[in-house]
Structure formats: structure tokens, C-alpha cells
């Protein structure tokens, strides 16, 4: 039975990709990079026995969040991941993905997430956040994970977590870590670096609309409200309540989304704003593969032109 499910997942995704049903959805965000991204999605799923057991619709939804942020999903690159959990796929940010989104804002002079050993930290004042390091000291003791940002307005901030604090965080927010599997178990250091950077950026950093979407959708299963068509994020792994992500624009304002997409299709920003407003209640029911709809019609972007099609 399991083998049949795996074959069905792969065959369904291949049918959607090679049949062209997904092109319009992904081209709105990726433009000419769409074929490469969809091929990468198939490669990621093909290389994971666990993803092959997941619902194919949940895989596409997770991939769409990554496409919206224009982040590659190749796990070897470390920007974003599609992670299996209890038969469904979750979207998960990598620490490199958070760095990439922060860099795009143009608000940061320096941003980093790294680890040192306890023996290399000579002193730390938690009030003034003055650090003194000795990197010539022999590495020993537990690891300490540190994130650092310096912004264009002169503001700078550190966030430090010991290895114990990081493990306590993982135990609190990840059921899979408690059971010994998943990203925390497979790549603890990478997840630790992401966690300390994510916490620093979400609390003290410049939260662009993309960054807000990244924080909300990280480690979540994308769920669609069948009545309203609204996109929700369900944190199945850490048992948090479902929270609102917004629409397919993942919290992006209509104007910022228009600026991002308009150039790819040769459209004026004002016209693209109208296009996005019409499609603002998105339905991601992959089984139906319907276009985004308003009350009376739906708009599609093909060949660099805006076309209006009757329902």
C-alpha cells in the first residue's frame, strides 16, 4: 500500500508539472525560472522516500511559499526546505533563506549567524551586550550560537543561545525532535543557527513583508479555508494554533507584490495592483487546479498581457 502511495504522489506531481497545470501559478512569482523550479521540486520529492508518502497537494502548496519568496528548495543549498510530517509536507526556512531575505531589504550592513565554543567567550555583559572573544583559545565546552545584525541606521544587536538553551527550544517547539527525527535531529547545527537568527530578526530586525511571511510560514503546513479561500498556516509539528498567513501573496502588500510581479510580465504597477486585488482570495485546492477568482471573472497573465476570461 505504501509503495502504491509513493508512486501515486510522484505520478500526480509529474502529471501536474509536465501537463502545464502549475505553470501559470508559479510563473506569477518566478517568471522564466518556473521550469527549473518545478523540475527541482520533482527532484527533491524523488530523492525523499518520506516526501513520496505525502499528499502531493501539500507538496505543491509548500513549494508555492518558497516560490513566492524566490528561494530555491534544493536542500543542499540551505535556503528553504519541503519537509515531510505525518503524511503532509511543510514549508521550512533555512538560515541562509533568512539572510537572503534580510539582504534584499537593503537595510542591513552586516548580518551573520555562527557558532563558537564556551572557551572562546571571555566575557559577556547582558545589559550593554559587550562581548569579548578569544578565538585563539582551544575550542572546548558546549557550543554557543550567536546571531548579529548591523543596520544602515547604525542600530546593531546580538542574540546568543547556549547549546542547552537551543535544545530546550527544540524540545518545546518540535515534536519530531523529541521523537528523534526531522530537521532538528538530522541537522541540529543548521537549525540552531536558523533559530537564533530568526529570533533576532523577528524581534529587532527590519520586518519586510517577505520576512513577515517567512516567519509565519516557517515550519508550517499550508492549509486552505474551504469557505473563505484564505491561506492559513498549521503548525502540526509544534502543536501551535493555526495562524493567518493571508493570501497567496503571503502577507505581501498589493503594491509591493505588484512591483515584484509587474516587471516580469511587462505590465504597469497600477494595472498589476488591480490584478492582485481581483485575485486576493486565493484558492489553492490543487485537486481542482482552478484559477484565482473574483465574483464574476478571473484574470490570468499570459504572454506578458493581462487577459480577462469569463467563468
Q: Is 112 helix (H, G, I), strand (E, B) or coil?
A: strand
Residues 61-113: pLDDT tens digits?
Answer: 889 888 888 899 998 888 998 888 788 888 888 889 999 999 999 999 999 99
Structural domain boundaries in the chain: 2-93+215-310, 108-205
DSSP, res 289 = T
Cβ-Cβ contacts under 8 Å for 209 (sequence gap 6 or more): 251, 252, 253, 256
Q: Is the pLDDT of residue 145 over 60?
A: yes
pLDDT: which is higher, 229 or 10: 10
Count of residues in the chain: 311
The answer to whether 222 and 91 are in contact (CB under 8 A) is: yes
Residue 39 in grid coordinates:
523540475
Q: Residue 293 has what pLDDT? A: 28
Q: Residue 45 has what pLDDT? A: 94
Residues 252-304: pLDDT tens digits?
Answer: 344 444 455 445 445 555 554 444 444 333 333 333 223 332 322 333 333 33
Residue 157 in grid coordinates:
544587536
Q: Which helix (H) or strand (E) holds 255?
A: helix 254-265
Amino acid at each position: 500500500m505504501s509503495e502504491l502511495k509513493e508512486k501515486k504522489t510522484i505520478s500526480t506531481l509529474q502529471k501536474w508539472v509536465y501537463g502545464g497545470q502549475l505553470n501559470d501559478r508559479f510563473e506569477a512569482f518566478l517568471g522564466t525560472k518556473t521550469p527549473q523550479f518545478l523540475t527541482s521540486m520533482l527532484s527533491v520529492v524523488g530523492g525523499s522516500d518520506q516526501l513520496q508518502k505525502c499528499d502531493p497537494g501539500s507538496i505543491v502548496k509548500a513549494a508555492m511559499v518558497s516560490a513566492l519568496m524566490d528561494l530555491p528548495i534544493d536542500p543542499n543549498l540551505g535556503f528553504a526546505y519541503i519537509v515531510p510530517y505525518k503524511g503532509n509536507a511543510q514549508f521550512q526556512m533555512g538560515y541562509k533563506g533568512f539572510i537572503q531575505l534580510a539582504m534584499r531589504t537593503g537595510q542591513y550592513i552586516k548580518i551573520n549567524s555562527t557558532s563558537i565554543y564556551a572557551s572562546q567567550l571571555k566575557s559577556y555583559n547582558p545589559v550593554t551586550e559587550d562581548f569579548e572573544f578569544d578565538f585563539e583559545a582551544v575550542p572546548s565546552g558546549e557550543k554557543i550560537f550567536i546571531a548579529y545584525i548591523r543596520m544602515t541606521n547604525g542600530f546593531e544587536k546580538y542574540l546568543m543561545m547556549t547549546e542547552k538553551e537551543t535544545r530546550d527550544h527544540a524540545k518545546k517547539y518540535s515534536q519530531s525532535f523529541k521523537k528523534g527525527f526531522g530537521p532538528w535531529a538530522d541537522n541540529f547545527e543548521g537549525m540552531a543557527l536558523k533559530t537564533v537568527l530568526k529570533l533576532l530578526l523577528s524581534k529587532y530586525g527590519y520586518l519586510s513583508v517577505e520576512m513577515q511571511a517567512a516567519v509565519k510560514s516557517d515550519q508550517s503546513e499550508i492549509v486552505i479555508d474551504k469557505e473563505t479561500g484564505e491561506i492559513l498556516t498549521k503548525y502540526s509539528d509544534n502543536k501551535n494554533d493555526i495562524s493567518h498567513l493571508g493570501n497567496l501573496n503571503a502577507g505581501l502588500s498589493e503594491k509591493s507584490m505588484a512591483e515584484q510581479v509587474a516587471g516580469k510580465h511587462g505590465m504597469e504597477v497600477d494595472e498589476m495592483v488591480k490584478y492582485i486585488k481581483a485575485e486576493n482570495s486565493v484558492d489553492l485546492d490543487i485537486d481542482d487546479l482552478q484559477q484565482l477568482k473574483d465574483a464574476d471573472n478571473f484574470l490570468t497573465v499570459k504572454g506578458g498581457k493581462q487577459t480577462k476570461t469569463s467563468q
